[in-house]
Amino acid sequence: MDTTIIHTPFGKVIGRKEKGVRIFRGLVYARYGRFAPPQAADTPCPEREISALDYGTLCPQVSSRLDALIGKVPGLRMAEGELCLSIYTPADESTAHPVMVWIHGGSYLSGGSEDPRYGAERLVRTGAVTVVKVSYRLGAEGWLHWPEAASVNLGLKDLHCALGWVSRNIRHFGGDPANVTLFAQSAGAHAVASLIATSGAEEEYAACSLPSAGAHADAPLFRRAILQSAPLGISITPREADKVLDAFLKALGKNAGQVSMEDILAAQSKIAGMRKSLTFMPVLADNMLCPESCRGLRIFATCGAQDASPYALGVFDKLFSRWPSVERALSAPVVKRLTHKIFLDGMNEYVSRLGALGVQARSHIIRWHPAGSVMGACHCIELPFLLGDYEDWKDARMLRGMHREEYERISSEMLSAWTAFARDGSWPQLSI
């Protein structure tokens, strides 16, 4: 392993260089107190030495319900109180590379930037881009609507803090802070739409405004966004969120300031099914808004033709595991209805609304899936082609029946399309 060093105002950062890519893992971009806003962690200290050789921590969470679909990664570390990001950038040490910021999904309950399956080496090599992967608070800690405790949409404030860090610091890692594209999946994509919707809207969302502070105050925090399987058909009202808060505090049974993280996760799990849709999520008047300050954005949205199949099949698998043909026949109409309700109709409405406002926006439905797959073009189907590599994803249930050559072809197409969009806004033209 070759090490690489970058000198920044907040310290000397030590990373690694692998096959033409410099990698800096587990950088802490902010710290936070429980149910409190994030505090940026890049205070000036040039003499500080920061090791970025190993994966950082994930925000506290329970196991994902999609583990059976995409596989589970052992050995991930969790920690409360710190928010991490990782950076992948070309090894040539030139500057002004387009920047792509990855925001993970996980139903606002799981996931993180430090999941090794989310490696961005191939994106960097394909498009000479700088990739930043960010984590944000999950579950009750990030999304409990608790105005009396000044805890409202803290996960959005985390993401805004991360984007501010990128704006201030990414030039030291070869990235262009004036050319940033967000790409995000599922809850992460929903969060991007929520960031846009709350830009400068109300005082309580002031920390989510898009104009950046510091050296690049005249530039937006990002110019473009790719929304992958954003569940824009799902929302929660303040009244519904109040019920979630009451149920959470009752399940907790103690003062929230006197409990362990395990207590919080246990209480969170007890009420996770109290709503048919997501229990913890941003509480907004309308998550499809696009304020005047954001009208210059360019947005590309995708979803799978059977995006909701993992959720429907989770039930049907238990009932008809011995009769796959029966399972397929009975689940098909349910998958279609849920896909439209949660993903497809919301995506179409969002793009239509943006277009009416003069915002440049397009969409694409992914229809590819392995031959004979019960899952179809399901939730997460595009992730293996963009992040990580074939070995990271080959055992995922949603890809069973796929050949290596097919993987390489689709991945090459998507990597080229995503990085071209990040470079100059060229619309992805996909055959899948």
**Catalytic residue list:** 186
**CA dihedral of 319, 268, 228, 231, whole degrees rounded to 10:** 70
> Are 260 and 216 contacting, i.e. CB atoms less than 8 angstroms apart?
no
Computed from CA positions of residues 429, 361, 137, 209, in that sequence, does the dihedral angle turn out positive or negative?
A: positive
Q: Are strands 49-51 and 11-18 parallel, antiparallel or unpaired?
A: parallel
Spatial CB neighbours of 338, under 8 Å, sequence gap ≥ 6:
308, 311, 312
Q: Which two tokens stand for residue 184?
A: 């995000």
Q: For residue 123, with 0-12 CB atoms within 10 Å meaning exposed, 13-18 middle and 19 or more buried, which class applies?
A: buried
Spatial contact of 180 and 210, defined as CB atoms under 8 Å apart: no
Measured from the Cβ of residue 26, the count of other Cβ atoms closer than 10 Å reads: 20
CA distances for 316 relative to 266, 309, 310, 330, 337, angstroms: 27, 10, 10, 8, 15
Q: Are 139 and 109 in contact (CB under 8 A)?
A: yes
Query: What length is written for the chain?
Result: 432
Task: Determine which helix (DSSP H) or strand (DSSP E) holds 181, and give its type and residue range.
Answer: strand 175-185
Going by C-alpha positions, the residue among 178, 196, 164, 84 that lies closest to residue 130 is 178
Q: Which of 338, 329, 333 is nearest to 308 (CA)?
A: 338
Cα–Cα distance for residue pair 170/179, rounded to 1 Å: 11
Residue 79: which residues within 8 A CB-CB, separation 6 or more? 57, 58, 59, 60
CA distances from 289 to 16, 252, 356, 373, 428 (A): 41, 34, 12, 36, 24
Residue 52 half-sphere exposure toward CB, CA atoms < 13 A:
29
